[in-house]
Structure 1
Amino acid sequence: MPKIKKTKIVATLGPATSKKEVIVDMIKAGVDVFRINFSHADYEDVKERVAIIREINAEMETNIAILGDLQGPKLRVGVMAEEVVVAPGDEITFVTGKPFEGNSERVYMNYAAFPKDVNPGERILLDDGKLMFEVISTNKKDKVRAKVIQGGPLKSKKGVNLPNTNISLPALTEKDVEDAIFAISLDVDWIALSFVRHSQDIIDLQNIIKEHGKHKIPIIAKIEKPEAVENIDKIVSYCDGLMVARGDLGVEVPAHEVPLIQKKLVLRAKKARIPVIIATQMMETMITSLTPTRAEVNDVANSVMDGADAVMLSGETSVGNYPVEVIEKMASILSSVENSELIIVPQEPPHIRTNRYITKSVCYHAAIMANEIKAKAISTLTNSGYTAFQISAWRPSSYILVFTSNRRILTQLNLLWGVKAFYYDKYVSTDETIEDVNVIACKKGFLEQGDMLISLAAMPIKDKGMVNTLRVTEIKTCNI
């Protein structure tokens, strides 16, 4: 019987993970999704890595997914001419327009609308909140005067957060549109949108995908702004997954509020039956150390206990010294906690009678029944992947085996908790197809003689319609 972790691992590609051998070792260690961070992406490098991953998928018969992560409106200061250290009470002017080298009196800001957007009394945070300023005045054109509240070294090209400011910049910058079109041309499996604030941000990206893509590419909304937390219900109505991006979120809102926000966002995703990824600093010390801290181990474990579909590594795999070892360590944490009885999934049956109500209800009852009869697996035939999302959200203790003739969704589904997808295109009669699928599940080692199996299908099977049938089988023989 294969030992398969159900919580998925997303690993960021970078200089430390550019060779095929390293990528193969990471997959063997437990990676399910590779993230391309377009904040630091060279198009030729990206093309090469995507080709390597697809080559490995063909060679190893894996379905590793590719997630393109758009940078979003990243505000930064310019280059500093010299070492500048600011102290509380100091005053400094942020200047837009033509870039220049900054000093202790003036610093360049890359965001042209900055003077128009900010107001006196609002905070400016630099370098992940290490430096804090308060706006004294703005000429609404090109200069903002600010006072230092929390000092320290003011370094070149550091990121800027404006937690109290209503930014006029769209979530999709010109760079993001270019990057999105490039990602679509590569047929990536998922696209993540940074600094989402409103549902319109998602709609704008959906329109770009429709215009430039051959297929629908699902969108993950990265929640890292207070407005996104406030507008979460509308955002969830349009996106296909959430990412709790705790780095910028922990700067934009007080850090002590992030743990509860994380829990609320996971619950909201579960209610919407969409996957949720927990990201940022999960195993940060393993960038340079072979051993994570106890707090990091606890953080990864607690994210699983909260109900995350996936946990994400950033610098640990993109620039870290131990990209394979960090995956092994993370996979061992996931395997040790994900089957705990302490994890409670909100069990509220679907009650809104949409046109997919029957399918939702069948999936819900399949997950409940699988736990009751201790079924080893739930198998489902799907063309769109919808049933995989539904069953995964209920967190059954059984394997979730998905069979599809739609190659496009094989890799997409690899992000979902507990889902294992297989290519299957012999739709004959219901009985023959289900028998056939059972043989494959036995062959792959998911079922043994005497195991209980729940099979979901749409009848008539050739029509590939919505799931309307649940069947319970005891495996009489697994002789292949």
Structure 2
Amino acid sequence: MKRLRKVKILATLGPSSSDEETIEKLHEAGADLFRINMSHSDHATLRNLVDRIRAVEKRCGRPIGILADLQGPKLRVGRFADSAVELEPGQTFTLDDKDTPGDVSRVFLPHPEIFAAVKPGHRLLIDDGRLQLKADACDGKSITCTVVSGTKISDRKGVSLPDSTLPVGALTEKDHKDLEAVLATRNVDWVALSFIQRPDDLAAVRKIARGKVGLMAKIEKPQALEQIDEIIELSDALMVARGDLGVELPIEAVPGIQKQLIRACRRAGKPVVVATQMLESMISAPVPTRAEVSDVATAVFEGADAVMLSAESAAGDYPVEAVSMMGAIARQVEKDPNFPGIIYAQRSEPQATGADAISLAGRQIAETLNLAVMVCYTSSGTTGLRASRERPQVPIIALSPVIETARRLSVVWGLHCVVTEDATDLDDMVDRACRIAFNEGFGNPGDRVIISAGVPLGTPGATNMLRIAYIGSDGMSGI
């Protein structure tokens, strides 16, 4: 199944899209990988969804990635005697450790770690920022606040702490159990970590995962931005989770931060996903707003690896249409005459490694000679990532003997992944590349392709060779 675009689409599964038939329709419409939200999925649901995706993968003959998104620490206030209370700006309101129903003056906060982290002057945002409090005094058991804006608070609303670094890791007890369930399936490719604050959060999870899944750090807290270079280095991919990021930071700052994160990931050669409310109106409408189309287009113009659908595909009335629309926007942007220039302007200098040098040379040769396609052999996925980092104008086919690698690369910009056996010798390497390029619809007899591989063949991390070849009349290599 040849996609006519380079950016990838990540679709969330849910009540509107959990059956196998709909999953297949979403894949046919353009979804390259699927997200399972562990905030709303138990372990039985996880296993069922994974099995259904793999059944679709088998029928379609294309590697499909699966991302399990861990819930992370959810901070919420307790309950009120009357379910909700009305507050006034300027009044005093207290959050404390007394497990009793709240009233107009106080409410229970069942998170002792917050009492240890909040200092006078820190902001506490309730219900996605609809109520803003400022801490005046903290004694370890209560936080006395002034109401800055907003007038209402009700049962179990979420709490955000943009100015406080919590003394807790990224994994809750629920997350530990969910991660164990994910690893036990042996069929999930990525794990997304919510509310990352510091590099240590990733290091702790990496010890548990032991390389069995890729780690995607969700950037949704200001504290993560303060150490973003270290977080990018320790992660395998990033997600710009604009929902919570827009609560804890001034909402007008989010577009600029999105651009900065995309460019930082592109420099590092790490995949980056842009998420949250991209086609929000399509939850209940068959077409998006013009602003939403522009939002998706901006992420594509910036060179993001993937764009994500959340409730649009998980709980909306038009999940398949939302995927189709996102694909149509991406294809139109990538055909825009300004697109190559914007992508080229953001290219980074290659690092002093053989893989980077080979990928740079391959891209330059392919574009200079107007070759049909770049073909790279990649066992661990590193060569595929470096080829994608160059953002070439020509398509890239990533050939791997490891299906787990092909699935994980499904989130990476421009890569058309094919699972194939390792080449037996140089002639087989060239023939196999030409035949697959022909069979997958990327080249015709007489077209030239450029192939990157490593000698000795089958040695991970040894990419050291480029070869230009013709596709022969039978789809094999010509002279």
TM-score of Structure 1 vs Structure 2, range by shorter chain: over 0.9
- Amino acid in structure 2 at the alignment position of 1:377: V
Quote the Cα distance in structure 1 between the aligned partners of 2:147 and 2:123: 10
Structure 1 residues 415-450: Cα deviation after superposition (integer angstroms, max 9, x where no partner):
101111111115211112211221122112111123
Counterpart in 1 of 2:377?
Answer: 381
Quote the Cα distance in structure 1 between the aligned partners of 2:277 and 2:347: 31
Quote the Cα distance in structure 2 between the aligned partners of 1:479 and 1:369: 22
Counterpart in 2 of 1:410?
Answer: 406
Query: Which range is displaced more, 298-307 or 16-25?
Result: 16-25
Q: What secondary structure, in the 3-state scheme, does the structure 2 residue paired with 1:170 have?
A: coil
Query: Which range is displaced more, 225-234 or 144-153?
Result: 144-153
**1:463, distance to aligned residue in structure 2 (A):** 4.4
- Amino acid in structure 2 at the alignment position of 1:234: E
Counterpart in 2 of 1:171?
Answer: 170
Counterpart in 2 of 1:220?
Answer: 216
- Amino acid in structure 1 at the alignment position of 2:232: V
Quote the Cα distance in structure 2 between the aligned partners of 1:103 and 1:478: 79
- Amino acid in structure 2 at the alignment position of 1:218: G
Counterpart in 2 of 1:474?
Answer: 470
Quote the Cα distance in structure 2 between the aligned partners of 1:368 and 1:62: 29
Quote the Cα distance in structure 1 between the aligned partners of 2:458 and 2:159: 55
**1:321, distance to aligned residue in structure 2 (A):** 1.3
**Aligned alpha-carbon RMSD (Å):** 1.8
- Of 260, 264, 269, the residue aligned with 1:268 is 264
- Is the contact made by 2:12 and 2:311 (CA closer than 8 Å) also made in structure 1? yes
Task: Sort the Cα spacing of 1:84 and 1:468 in 2 relative to 1 into closer, same or farther, 3 A.
Answer: same
Say yes or no: does 1:151 pair with 2:147: no
Quote the Cα distance in structure 2 between the aligned partners of 1:275 and 1:7: 11
- Amino acid in structure 1 at the alignment position of 2:231: I
**1:240, distance to aligned residue in structure 2 (A):** 0.7
Counterpart in 1 of 2:237?
Answer: 241
Quote the Cα distance in structure 1 between the aligned partners of 2:459 and 2:136: 66
Equivalent residue runs for 1:298-313 within 5 Å? 298-313=294-309
- Amino acid in structure 1 at the alignment position of 2:20: K
Counterpart in 2 of 1:90?
Answer: 91
**1:3, distance to aligned residue in structure 2 (A):** 4.7
Counterpart in 1 of 2:281?
Answer: 285
Quote the Cα distance in structure 2 between the aligned partners of 1:38 and 1:2: 30
Task: Sort the Cα spacing of 1:462 and 1:389 in 2 relative to 1 into closer, same or farther, 3 A.
Answer: closer
Counterpart in 2 of 1:4?
Answer: 4
Task: Sort the Cα spacing of 1:206 and 1:149 in 2 relative to 1 into closer, same or farther, 3 A.
Answer: same
**1:31, distance to aligned residue in structure 2 (A):** 0.6
How many residues are aligned here? 470
- Amino acid in structure 2 at the alignment position of 1:146: C
Structure 1 residues 148-198: Cα deviation after superposition (integer angstroms, max 9, x where no partner):
111133132221111111221222222222211111112210111111122
Counterpart in 2 of 1:397?
Answer: 393
Equivalent residue runs for 1:38-77 within 5 Å? 38-77=38-77
Quote the Cα distance in structure 2 between the aligned partners of 1:119 and 1:178: 32
Counterpart in 1 of 2:350?
Answer: 350
**1:107, distance to aligned residue in structure 2 (A):** 1.8
Say yes or no: does 1:107 pair with 2:107: yes
Query: Which range is displaced more, 337-346 or 314-323?
Result: 337-346
Q: What secondary structure, in the 3-state scheme, does the structure 2 residue paired with 1:165 have?
A: coil
**With structure 2 as the length reference, what TM-score do the two structures score?**
0.94
Say yes or no: does 1:455 pair with 2:451: yes
Q: What secondary structure, in the 3-state scheme, does the structure 1 residue paired with 2:287 have?
A: coil
- Is the contact made by 2:382 and 2:461 (CA closer than 8 Å) also made in structure 1? no
Quote the Cα distance in structure 2 between the aligned partners of 1:419 and 1:262: 23
Query: Which range is displaced more, 85-94 or 276-285?
Result: 85-94
Quote the Cα distance in structure 1 between the aligned partners of 2:342 and 2:448: 23
- Give unpaired runs (5+ residues) of structure 2: none
Q: What secondary structure, in the 3-state scheme, does the structure 2 residue paired with 1:461 have?
A: coil
Counterpart in 1 of 2:122?
Answer: 122
Counterpart in 2 of 1:28?
Answer: 28
Quote the Cα distance in structure 2 between the aligned partners of 1:478 and 1:154: 70
The alignment-based identity, stated in percent, is 38
**1:73, distance to aligned residue in structure 2 (A):** 1.7
**1:216, distance to aligned residue in structure 2 (A):** 3.2
Quote the Cα distance in structure 2 between the aligned partners of 1:230 and 1:46: 34
**1:478, distance to aligned residue in structure 2 (A):** 4.5
Quote the Cα distance in structure 2 between the aligned partners of 1:347 and 1:94: 49
**1:97, distance to aligned residue in structure 2 (A):** 5.4
Task: Sort the Cα spacing of 1:249 and 1:185 in 2 relative to 1 into closer, same or farther, 3 A.
Answer: same
**1:465, distance to aligned residue in structure 2 (A):** 5.4
Quote the Cα distance in structure 1 between the aligned partners of 2:50 and 2:201: 26
- Amino acid in structure 2 at the alignment position of 1:50: V
Quote the Cα distance in structure 2 between the aligned partners of 1:426 and 1:342: 36
Quote the Cα distance in structure 2 between the aligned partners of 1:97 and 1:308: 46
- Amino acid in structure 1 at the alignment position of 2:218: K
Counterpart in 2 of 1:333?
Answer: 329
- Give unpaired runs (5+ residues) of structure 1: none
- Is the contact made by 1:305 and 1:342 (CA closer than 8 Å) also made in structure 2? no
Q: What secondary structure, in the 3-state scheme, does the structure 2 residue paired with 1:113 have?
A: helix
Q: What secondary structure, in the 3-state scheme, does the structure 2 residue paired with 1:365 have?
A: helix
Quote the Cα distance in structure 2 between the aligned partners of 1:307 and 1:62: 24
- Is the contact made by 1:448 and 1:478 (CA closer than 8 Å) also made in structure 2? no
Counterpart in 1 of 2:206?
Answer: 206
Quote the Cα distance in structure 2 between the aligned partners of 1:155 and 1:472: 66
- Amino acid in structure 2 at the alignment position of 1:402: A
- Is the contact made by 2:279 and 2:309 (CA closer than 8 Å) also made in structure 1? yes
- Is the contact made by 2:400 and 2:422 (CA closer than 8 Å) also made in structure 1? no
Quote the Cα distance in structure 2 between the aligned partners of 1:198 and 1:454: 41
